[in-house]
Chain A
Amino acid sequence: MSIASPARLRRRIRPAGAIGLAIVLFWVVMAVFGPFLAPHGEGSVVSAQVLDASSRAALLGTDYLGRDMLSRILFGARYTVGVAALATVLASLSGSMLALWAATNGGWSDAIVSRLLDALISLPSLLFALVVVAAVGSSIPILVLTAAVIYLPGAYRTVRALAVNIVAMEFVKVARARGEGAFYIMRAEILPNIVLPVLTDFGLRFIYVVLLLSGLSFLGLGIQPPFADWGSLVRENIEGLAYGAPAVIMPALAIATLTIGVNLMIDGLHGRPGDPHGH
């Protein structure tokens, strides 16, 4: 039994990060097993009382049609967690790669990619989403792609703004002079030096995607009733806010815990010692 390893682990992940990780893990488990744990079906009406307070029959109260809120949230977990995570990873990953490539190469490739994505971000997202529904129909993969495309340019701009600062540094010039390839420079010289802001941007972007979903489902893109992501659950029960119905508060709490969890985890990850900090 080694004494060193728990200590190293503790240094790797700060307590806040551990809490974040625990929350995220909890919701991932719920996303996978939620539907099996749900006491009622996703669309079945269980009570004549709508927007009701918590009761023994409906632990988190009922929604605007008298459906069990706990079940609705559990069924919605996979849509919110799954779709948002996938879309964010897609947007951030492709946005970052493009940005690193553009920043490293500079010149024309940078200008062309930057301006093309400027054009993309200038397209109103409502128009974009409506065109997507009209042109290719509605399904979960399309929802993921749409959300990713809407947030890709933002990720690109953020990462590019960070990367150009690094590209101008001496050590990158040195690496270039050494004859290193563009990919090596991206991976070994630039990325490690901007990883915190990139991750922070990922965390924020994750929140935006979670919140975007409710807007897209409202347009009929992706998640179809009776299923609903958490943002839509908040939206459809908003009338209950005036008297504090759990139907509107609980899904909002679910969103808050998930997004805070993700961001805590990201902040915690950065506490890792041994990150290369420049040269």
Chain B
Amino acid sequence: MSEQDPALSPTLDDADAATLQRMAGAGATRRALMGWLAAGGMGLTASGLVATQALAAAAETPKTGGSIRVAGYSSGTTDTVDPARQSLSTDYVRCNMFYNGLTALDANLTPQPVLAESFESADARVWTLKLRKGVEFHDGATMTADDVVYSLTRLQDPKIGSPARPLATQMTEIKAMGPQEVRITLATPNADLPVALGTFHFKIIKNGTTNFTTANGTGAYKCKEFAPGVRSVGVRNPHYWKAGKPYLDQIEFFGIADDAARVNALLAGDIQLAGGINPRATRQVKAAHGYDVFETRSGGYTDLIARLDVAQTGNADFVMALKYLMDREQMKRAIFQNYAVVGNDQPIDPTNRFYNPHLAQRPFDPERAKFHLKKSGIGATAVPLVASTAASSSVDMAVLMQGAARKIGLNLDIKQVPAGGYWSNYWLKAPLCFGNINPRPSADILLTLFFKSDAPWNESKWKDTKFDSLLLAARSELDLAKRKAMYWDMQGMIRDDAGIGIPLFLSNLDAHSARLKGLRPIPTGGMMGFDFAENVWLA
């Protein structure tokens, strides 16, 4: 509700205020506004005052109308409008235009009600969701509990191959208790279920949908065109259930994979929003008039992985030497133009409520690195370091580390490998390589996916039973202070013992026309957590 001007609230109720602002935003004259106010029974003096306020506020309040073109950074034949099968940012943008979830994550990653008006549980195991009434799919059908059951059950189907399947299979029963009520039973208690329901894949589709050549959702935009690898066009959904939204008439979305071309398209005025721009391009954007850089700080990172179950890279001293060899300040400045936050070899970033600020920062220390290197007995053997453009900026990080390593007599042999197939063939396989972890909505999800001993993506194959039991205990702990203490301990353990080096947490950078308003950072990703579509307007 941040878009509404509080000054209007004392004299008008919310709905009226919204209508007034829309009229002002749409370019209504003061006279027209006053006419509308007078018809509503307001005295002439009062209406004159309010109308003036509304017009003044219009510069910062949403305006309806207009259309924009947006370019993301990837697009290909894998493009989909099937929420279950989304895999890239381009899909997240598209599905956020056409669909709604049961919940949505806000700027603090707290779940907010969307299609579910409320979500309640007494034991964090059995959850009752009350659905919003009168929500319509684009084809006119009313959204009911059956649609929700179908959408969630579908995520569990191995044949669909949804990346969200591991999260979805914790739901052992999904049952419609009435047209507007769904009961979800979990295998084990999880207080974060509403968080999971707010993630990208848990969008609600119509019961029985199997054809995804177009999208039929409840979202703010209707799918006018969807051509994988070419473009998607969304047009305003006139029956959208959120009053006053969306603001734009049309959004054309496509991917321009070339970084420089994407920025140039923006500066040429052909697009209004360029997603995921290179930090090096910020200088060009800032130098141009009428364009802004939009930074979203997040918990995403590119990490160095030393597999602990391989003799050479499993040497504790060798791993420590590598961690001391990362010149984090240099990486932050040279690679990211300072659009990053220095990391401390543990995955919880400073925006997270469980971040431990008292953990001593590991410095860049070639002397200590040299000490550990000597102790490790690696000597002058060439150690292959696998990097790829698939793990963003990993090649540059490797180059900077190689330079520092050479000075202490460590021979890092960079192997740049093709981006295609990197995640299947090198990540989790090569003894010394890089990973790239997207921001996750909760500390529990992140640690469970990447650091639990039996996690499939346990990157360094780090196994610690004490860590595992702490993780499980923290999940069911309701006392926030105790829970915090546990997460703090876990951060220290990862920092000191895991084979993971996290030099930096990376910011997402987007560039946009200064006329495009309403962008607010949501740390699940750039472009407002890929959910800019219903929140932006053209001033």
Chain B positions within 8 Å of A, measured between CB atoms, are 259-260, 263-264, 278, 280-281, 283-284, 287, 330, 333-335, 337, 387-389, 395-396, 398-400, 402-403, 413-418, 420
Contact = CB atoms under 8 A, between A and B. Distances in A.
Contacts of A65: 334-335, 396, 399-400
A239 B400 contact: no
Contacts of A108: none
Most buried by A among B280, B396, B420: B280
Contacts of A240: 280
Most buried by A among B259, B264, B283: B283
B264 to A, nearest CB: 8
Contact of A226 (B264, B287, B399): B399
Given A220-B388, A239-B259, A241-B260, A43 B399 contact: yes
Given A41-B403, A65-B396, A239-B280, 5 more contacts: A51-B283, A65-B334, A226-B399, A226-B403, A243-B283
Contacts of A241: 260
B420 A239 contact: no
A43 B402 contact: yes
B509 to A, nearest CB: 13
Contacts of B413: 224
Q: Is the interface of A mostly helix, strand, loop or mixed?
A: loop
Contacts of B263: 239
A45 B330 contact: yes
B400 to A, nearest CB: 7
B511 to A, nearest CB: 12
A133 B418 contact: yes
A226 B334 contact: no
Contacts of A130: 418, 420
A51 B400 CA distance: 16
B256 to A, nearest CB: 14
Contacts of B284: 239, 242-243
A238 B388 CA distance: 19
30 contacts: A43-B399, A45-B334, A45-B400, A48-B333, A50-B334, A50-B337, A51-B280, A65-B334, A65-B396, A65-B399, A218-B389, A220-B388, A220-B415, A220-B417, A224-B413, A224-B415, A225-B395, A225-B416, A226-B403, A226-B414, A238-B259, A239-B259, A239-B260, A239-B278, A239-B280, A239-B281, A239-B284, A240-B280, A243-B284, A243-B287
A75 interface: no
A25 interface: no
A55 B204 CA distance: 58
Contacts of B417: 133, 220
A219 B418 contact: yes
A75 to B, nearest CB: 13
A76 interface: no
A44 interface: yes
A64 interface: yes
A66 interface: yes
B306 to A, nearest CB: 19
A238 B258 CA distance: 10
Most buried by A among B333, B334, B398: B334
Contacts of B415: 138, 220, 224
Interface in A37-70: 41, 43-45, 48, 50-51, 64-66
Nearest to A240: B280
Interface string A85-112: 0000000000000000000000000000
A220 B260 contact: no
A152 to B, nearest CB: 23
A123 to B, nearest CB: 17
Contacts of B281: 239
A220 B418 contact: yes
Nearest to A47: B334
Contacts of B283: 51, 243
